[in-house]
Structure 1
Amino acid sequence: MLRPRIIPCLLVHRDGLVKTQCFKEPKYVGDPINAVRIFNEKEADELMVLDIDATVNKVAPNFSLIAKLAAECRMPLSYGGGVTTAEQAARIVDMGVEKVAVSAAAITDPSLLTEMAALVGRQSVVAVLDVRKRSGLFAKGYEVCTHNARMTHKLDPIELAKQLQDAGAGEIVINSVDRDGLMQGYDLDMAEKFKNALKVPVTFLGGAGTLDHIGELVRKVGVVGAAAGSLFVFKGKYRAVLINYPTPEKKVELCRQAFEH
């Protein structure tokens, strides 16, 4: 039976674990390998690791780091950052990574997802869309951006998500730029629009500050992936660094809420 997945998202910057706010000012919070070990102990559903340097710096994936992560991780692992070819994706999967996430390269050329799916299987292909509200006095709706929100694309986010789904993505991750690191809750209206438009599994990232925020998400849209960064690496109003994850009992409760949707 499908159930909501609760997914810690780790951002890697200069080989360290960081957390951002609205994609800016990365704050060092520790060693990614150590974080993986702690999430192993807490039996996380899944883990997402995103290298936020690779695409901006036009470099290939950090295969050395990926190998270390895959060797340590005892849960399904999704990795993104710098992937521009299906061959790179296949190499990452061969290392033991379950899913390979792509963003800018897939937006530029959706056929990359088709090639990846042919090599590693659609279930291992994830497309990530960084989405924010349009700016301007009379602006409405949302826009897609890449390169750590430095580049904007004149594409309708939902139509683009459908296109990437049709091209070969087995999962779509919607990352809210506006809510990143603010811990004030998911953009529920946006989440509902994407969930209703897509057939493949959808994961939402950006905004979760409490487990109640995850509960609100699954009550609003049903069975989805609920990803978060700050929620799982900070504790308390002073944002002290502490790796944490919900207990099995809390996960059961959140699952029940999704089926009440």
Structure 2
Amino acid sequence: MQFARRSIFRPCIDLHDGQVKQIVGGTLSDTAPENLKTNFVARLVLDSPADFSRLYKKHNLEGGHIIKLGPGNDPAAREALSAWSGKFQIGGGIDDENATEWLLAGASKVIVTSYLFPNAQFSLERLKKISSKVGKDRLVVDLSCRRRGNRWIVAMNRWQVLTDMEVSEDTLNLLSEYCSEFLVHAADVEGLCQGIDRDLVESLGKWVQIPTTYAGGAKDINDLDLVERLSGGRVDLTYGSSLDIFGGTLVRFQSLVDRNIARTPTLDY
């Protein structure tokens, strides 16, 4: 007797310049900051990172992630973590030197990307090092990527730099030896509210052996059902700019809460 897996909604808090924001991922750039396109800046709906944490806590939405998009976000991240300690993953600038610090600050797990790719080249040595330091069960590997033809290439430094790693079954099998989860932003559709990358979600459903969260393009409450169908329930979904708590008009937060409640494990005999 086993439990059948259902895809669920995973919450997020994206931080930029110390504020909760929703950003079109493809516009993040160090060389052309004037091109940054922001869909939402927390002002009226909710104010602080801690307010979002408390909202997620109220509805028992565990397993969400806090992402620091660039410098100046550490105080805001600590504020969000302290509002619901031990329930959020933290990513953005995580390396072997500060990972333990963030766990002590209240993160449930640390999320790592750029540290694994010195000079945009994957380092298995670095992955082993940070996994050994924090423990496999407290490490998430972020495989946020950009599409190139029929392939997806891992992107680092706020999705600006392509690495030498392709998201594939072999890659995921290797990485899963050293981490307990994957986080995958489809950077090309992040923040556009034009639909998920169906091919990527379907591929992840075939390849992943550990919990995986996909983010990018979700624009309809039924996208959660779509992700479940495409991935066989092996991939969870994050909503961002389409969500009403982030100023969106396409998806109600309470509807996702209700969907999660309804998705209690069902017995598979």
TM-score range, shorter chain: 0.7 to 0.9
Structure 1 residue aligned with 2:247:
234
Identity %: 18
Structure 2 residue aligned with 1:22:
25
**Any idea what SS the aligned residue of 1:152 has?**
strand
Alignment of 1:179-258 (within 5 A): 179-221=189-231, 222-232=233-243, 233-236=246-249, 244-246=253-255, 248-254=257-263
Gaps of 5+ in 1: none
User: Is the contact made by 1:45 and 1:75 (CA closer than 8 Å) also made in structure 2?
Assistant: no
User: Is the contact made by 1:20 and 1:26 (CA closer than 8 Å) also made in structure 2?
Assistant: yes
User: Is the contact made by 2:9 and 2:256 (CA closer than 8 Å) also made in structure 1?
Assistant: no
Q: Which moved more, 1:3-12 or 1:13-22?
A: 3-12
Q: Does 1:81 align with 2:92?
A: yes
| Number of corresponding residues | 243
**Any idea what SS the aligned residue of 2:10 has?**
strand
Change in CA separation of 1:192 and 1:39 when aligned onto 2, cut-off 3 Å? same
Alpha-carbon displacement from aligned partner over 1:206-252 (angstroms, at most 9, x marks no partner): 11112200111012211322122223323326x9xxx8343654224
- Structure 2 residue identity aligned to 1:34: D
More helix by share: 1
Q: Which moved more, 1:11-20 or 1:245-254?
A: 245-254
- Per the normalisation by structure 1, the TM-score is 0.81
User: Is the contact made by 2:23 and 2:40 (CA closer than 8 Å) also made in structure 1?
Assistant: no
Alpha-carbon displacement from aligned partner over 1:47-89 (angstroms, at most 9, x marks no partner): 21101104xxxx9x82x4343222102672010011121x411
Alignment of 1:8-87 (within 5 A): 8-24=11-27, 25-30=37-42, 31-54=48-71, 62=74, 64-73=75-84, 76-85=87-96, 87=97
RMSD of aligned Cα (Å):
2.7
Structure 1 residue aligned with 2:133:
119
User: Is the contact made by 2:53 and 2:81 (CA closer than 8 Å) also made in structure 1?
Assistant: no
**CA distance in structure 2 between the partners assigned to 1:49 and 1:253 by the alignment:** 25
Gaps of 5+ in 2: 28-36, 43-47
Q: Does 1:163 align with 2:171?
A: no
- Per the normalisation by structure 2, the TM-score is 0.79
**Any idea what SS the aligned residue of 1:231 has?**
coil
Change in CA separation of 1:19 and 1:143 when aligned onto 2, cut-off 3 Å? same
Q: Which moved more, 1:122-131 or 1:182-191?
A: 182-191
**Displacement, 1:22?**
3.4
Structure 1 residue aligned with 2:186:
176
**Displacement, 1:16?**
0.5
**CA distance in structure 2 between the partners assigned to 1:34 and 1:23 by the alignment:** 27
Change in CA separation of 1:43 and 1:23 when aligned onto 2, cut-off 3 Å? farther
